[in-house]
Amino acid sequence: MKLAVIEGDGVGKEVIPAALQVLDCFDLSLEKIPLNLGYGKWEKTGQAITDADLKILKECDCILFGAVTTPADPNYKSVLLTIRRELDLYANIRPLKPIKGIKGATGNSDFDILVVRENTEGLYSSIEQVVENEAWSKRIITRRASERIAQIACEYAAKRHNHLTIVHKSNVIKADSLFLNTCREVAQSHNVIHDAMLVDAMAYDMVRSPEKYDVVVAPNLYGDILSDLGGALVGSLGLLPSANVGEKQAFFEPVHGSAPDIAGRGIANPIAAVLSVALLLDWLDKPEQARIVREAVEASINENIKTADLGGNSTTAQVTEFLVQYVQSH
Ligand code: NAI
Ligand code: MG
């Protein structure tokens, strides 16, 4: 198995080395291939990702990724969007699950949501134009992409509470009706109980009653926004892992970005990246190892070894050291 490892920019350079220390506690015969991508590379070379990088990524089985900085410059092509599209990683799986001992923004810790975000089209189609007085971004919804995201969402639902919520805004954005109707058809054919929510109402209701939801399937932008909202429900963006999956490959990354406001200070929470390693272990069919990693995270909270985003005063290195010791002794 080949694992590409991309730290990226900002806190990516802090949380990925931490996550690797945890991964390295297990004897997994993974060949690790480090790759340097992102804004830092662009500043030095004029390219954030090259064709040669993409070729290497296509030859890997899986990828562990930190975060990259993406400037608002209209001429800058997002590295992440490029990778997701080139590798056809069509499903972005984002579990929103409370961690014992952490109170999220609402104090409610009685929920377990799986956001399944369409990852290849929608408003992130990259078909756009910015001229002086007018700008547009084309929002694409296809039956094929809607069908396959609904299918994977239904497969997850079948293993959970068999309930799918389809997020859309088809009352005003007519393209969403193709997403909604296709997801409904797929859910019906899978015998998954389903309902639909307008995205604005969904944001409101996820804050008020997150316990109502099981699997939530959403077009690209809505899934992106609702999962950050989920970060507040869980307690910090520094806690949320994710997996981007395709037919053969999978790409694991914290939901958060490069966090320039805290980068370089050694205080980034490594848990989102470490839980991304747990998702990688699940994907490698190592459930026992994944369980130990999750248990280590709970133990660190229980011992009050927490970074500043969780109200603690431990550093990235101190949290990582605890996690590594826990995993090694279990
Ligand atoms: P962000 O996710 O980097 O940060 C949002 C907030 O969460 C900040 O207050 C930050 O300090 C906090 N935070 C994030 N990760 C944390 C961690 N591990 N521990 C503790 N606190 C953490 O989003 P922002 O600031 O909007 O974006 C910064 C840069 O990251 C931008 O260039 C953006 O394009 C990029 N970005 C990249 C992503 C990726 O590579 N997957 C995802 C989101 C944003
Ligand atoms: Mg995001």
> What is the C-alpha to C-alpha distance for residues 67 and 274, in angstroms, rounded to an integer?
14
Give the residue among 330, 277, 299 at the shortest CA–CA distance from 28.
277
Does the pTM surpass 0.90? The reply is yes
pLDDT for 68 equals 97
User: Could you report the per-residue pLDDT of 223-255, keeping only the tens digit for each?
Assistant: 999 999 999 999 999 999 999 999 999 999 999
Nearest-CA residue for atom 4 of ligand 1: 259
CB of 316 closer than 8 Å to CB of 14:
yes
27 counts as catalytic: no
| Ligand 1 close to Cβ of residue 14 (< 6 A) | no
- DSSP one-letter string for 91-151: EEEEEE---TT---TTS-----EEEEEE-SSBTTS--EEE-SS-EEE--B--HHHHHHHHH
205 counts as catalytic: no
Give the residue among 256, 271, 255, 263 at the shortest CA–CA distance from 307.
271
Whether 1-95+239-330 and 103-234 share one fold: the answer is yes
Give the residue among 121, 64, 36 at the shortest CA–CA distance from 252.
64
pLDDT for 74 equals 80
**Nearest atom, ligand 1, residue 68 CA:** 40
**Buried/exposed 81-104: b ≥16 CB within 10 Å, e otherwise:** bbbbbebebbbbbbbbbbbebbeb
Nearest-CA residue for atom 17 of ligand 1: 238
> What is the C-alpha to C-alpha distance for residues 151 and 208, in angstroms, rounded to an integer?
28
Out of 242, 256, 267, 309, mutate this one to test ligand 1's pocket (max ligand atoms within 8 Å of CB): namely: 256
261 counts as catalytic: no
| Ligand 1 close to Cβ of residue 30 (< 6 A) | no
pLDDT for 219 equals 98
Angle (nearest 5°) at CA 221 between 117 and 112: 40
Q: For 103-234, which CATH class?
A: alpha beta
> What is the C-alpha to C-alpha distance for residues 148 and 183, in angstroms, rounded to an integer?
9
Q: Where are the domains of the chain?
A: 1-95+239-330, 103-234
- Low-confidence residues of the chain, pLDDT below 50? none
Our CA dihedral for 42, 9, 89, 188, rounded to 10 degrees, sits at: -130
Which residue in the list 55, 58, 76, 200 is annotated as catalytic?
Answer: 200
> What is the C-alpha to C-alpha distance for residues 287 and 283, in angstroms, rounded to an integer?
9
| Ligand 1 close to Cβ of residue 274 (< 6 A) | no
CA of 222 to the centre of ligand 2 (A): 10
| Ligand 1 close to Cβ of residue 80 (< 6 A) | yes
pLDDT for 110 equals 94
**Buried/exposed 220-238: b ≥16 CB within 10 Å, e otherwise:** bbbbbbbbebbbebbbbbb
Q: What architecture does CATH give domain 1-95+239-330?
A: 3-Layer(aba) Sandwich (3.40)
pLDDT for 77 equals 86
